[in-house]
Amino acid sequence: MGNPSEFPHSVPLGLVIPAELVGDVVGKLHYVSEQLAGFRISDSRDTVQFRLKPGQEAQRALVTERLREVATKLCRSYRSWGDKVLVSRPREQFACQEDPHPALEREGQIFRYGNGRYGLGPHMVALVEAFDRQFLRTVESFSPEAHQFPSIIGGDILSRCRYIKSFPHSLSLVHHLREDLEAIQGFAEQAEWGGDHLHVKPDSLAPPETLLSPTVCFHCYAWLADSKQTRPRIITARGKCFRFESGNLRGLERLWDFSMRELIFVGPKEFVLEQRQKVIDASTQLLDRWNLSYEIKTATDPFFIDDFSQQSSFQRAFDLKFEVRAALPYKPGGSVAIGSFNIHQDFFGRSFSIGTIDGQPLHTGCVGFGLERVALALVAQHGLDPAGWPPGVREDISR
Amino acid sequence: MSELEREQVESKVRAVIGQTFGLSPTETAGELRMGDPAAWDSMGHMQLIVGLEEACNWSCPGHQIAELVDVPTIVDAICNPSN
């Protein structure tokens, strides 16, 4: 039971949250209300206990209703699947058991700028760069075309692929000021940092045209939009990605702003499926070379509440997503997704009108590695001292 | 299950597909499979499964969802729920 003084309010949900769904439900409850100060799901998984911010008791009924709504929608039509594990590299003993974040901060290897925003020091940069270089070497035989994409992405692109509807909670909008002398001068005069946010007059802002890009591959599909492809394509790019994750943001485990290396496939269904399997095999060799403990297993994307049940069921049913989950020894039984292998079927082919010569929508797939998370997993499992890192890692850093 | 019962199930399946994707009776009578009509995409597929479960008082096992991509397969699954 939660301490009543910590969580004075309770919401009986009228259902028991399936154990496999607890993480998804907790992840979404952060978005229920700005007045929610904290919450927990009861051990019996049938109640949410919560507390409100001071002076917000009038919001209790509304928050209660929303907590129940979110839990009900996420659990509706839930099917128990069981994980399909493709690769498993368990380990009993780790060189390190402690959360590396405090030591990384002390030693100047990470610097926290704010919620979900971290800078990296030399050792962490060396890991990020070495993994990225080695991944590119690993997939050299695919002869990928190298691309570079912007960090901001048009709202039209995100709208075209339904991202705005399926993941509204993680959007980061980009504003510039209205091209209006009075608005700009007024903004410069009045805007000020208010302790935790910038005070601005909303009417000085131009309507958002762009957002911070949540992923790399959308730019690729927009590049190929309204085209007929005469041959399969394999493209690679590294980019900054941005996903606002509210109370779920936590150290390097979950950043608002992170770096991702992607390999993207566009072609017939069989081609995309075959490439994904080849990259899974190649990535396994790299992860083993880095002596990481991990699993590659089925997963789903964090769709928002209304799309969650159906979209995640669809992903599971068709084995569309596999994640590399690296062990985090400082969290018993815990892990972090450092990469994923995704099939989109013809979703992006249809959404962006990318077709064959005879007009059939092409299939797509992508593989992505979150580079800061790879670095975190490595130091969490092998410690902060480069001398103690696996030989494969040290070799890749020096190459 | 008799041939007549199977036809009744097929008729119900076609009706649910038509209702889910807003098809005319003529379109509903034709060949239907995932991707054709276009609205039968990933979101549409799960809406269809849920609709079929409700209309046919049937529970679709997770492992079968990916296989149910055309009318004959769906009818088979509903008529032989143990498969």
Residue A353, sorted as left (phi over 0), alpha (psi -120 to 50) or beta, turns out to be left
Choose the closest CB to A311 out of B35, B42, B63: B42
Which chain A residues contact residue B35 at CB under 8 A? Answer: 346
What is the token pair recorded at A178?
A: 């209205």
Q: Give the pLDDT of residue A4.
A: 66
Which chain B residues contact residue A350 at CB under 8 A? Answer: 38, 41
Q: In this complex, do B46 and A314 lie within 8 Å of one another by their Cβ atoms?
A: yes
What is the token pair recorded at A309?
A: 């049940």
Give yes or no for B45 touching A (CB within 8 A).
yes
Nearest to A133 by CA among A371, A316, A382: A371
Cα–Cα distances in Å, from B19 out to A151, A351, B44, B68?
42, 23, 11, 17
Give yes or no for A160 touching B (CB within 8 A).
no
Whether a cis peptide bond, with omega within 30° of 0, leads into A54 is no
CB A298 within 8 Å of CB A81: yes
Q: Give the pLDDT of residue B5.
A: 86
Q: Give the pLDDT of residue B49.
A: 93
What is the token pair recorded at A54?
A: 């001071």
CA–CA separation, A88 and A146 (whole Å): 31
How close does chain B come to A351, measured CA to CA in Å?
A: 11
Nearest to A79 by CA among A291, A312, A318: A312
CA–CA separation, A399 and A269 (whole Å): 36
- Report CA Rg, chain B: 12
Q: Give the pLDDT of residue A3.
A: 67
Q: Could you say which residues from 15 to 74 on chain A have a Cβ atom under 8 Å away from some Cβ of chain B?
A: none
Per-residue pLDDT of chain A (399 residues; tens, 9 = 90+): 456 679 999 999 999 999 999 999 999 999 999 999 999 999 999 999 999 999 999 999 999 999 999 999 999 878 888 889 999 999 999 998 999 999 999 999 999 999 999 999 999 999 999 999 999 999 999 999 999 999 999 999 999 999 999 999 999 999 999 999 999 999 999 999 999 899 998 999 999 999 999 999 999 999 999 999 999 999 999 999 999 999 999 999 999 999 999 999 999 999 999 999 999 999 999 999 999 999 999 999 999 998 888 889 889 999 999 999 999 999 999 999 999 999 999 999 999 999 999 999 999 999 999 999 999 999 999 999 999 999 999 999 998
CB burial string A314-352: b at 16+ within 10 A, e below: bbbbbebbbbbbbbbbeeeeebbbbbbbbbbbbbbbbbb
- pTM of the complete model: 0.92
Give yes or no for B42 touching A (CB within 8 A).
yes
Backbone angles phi, psi at A33, to 5 degrees: -160, 145
Residues in chain A: 399
Best of A314, A315, A350 to mutate (most B CBs within 10 Å, chain B)? A314
Closest chain A residue to B35 measured between Cα atoms?
A346
Q: B10-57: per-residue pLDDT in tens?
A: 999 999 999 999 999 999 998 999 988 988 987 789 899 999 999 999
Q: Give the pLDDT of residue B83.
A: 60
Strands A354-355 and A145-146: unpaired
Sign of CA dihedral A7, A11, A17, A20: negative
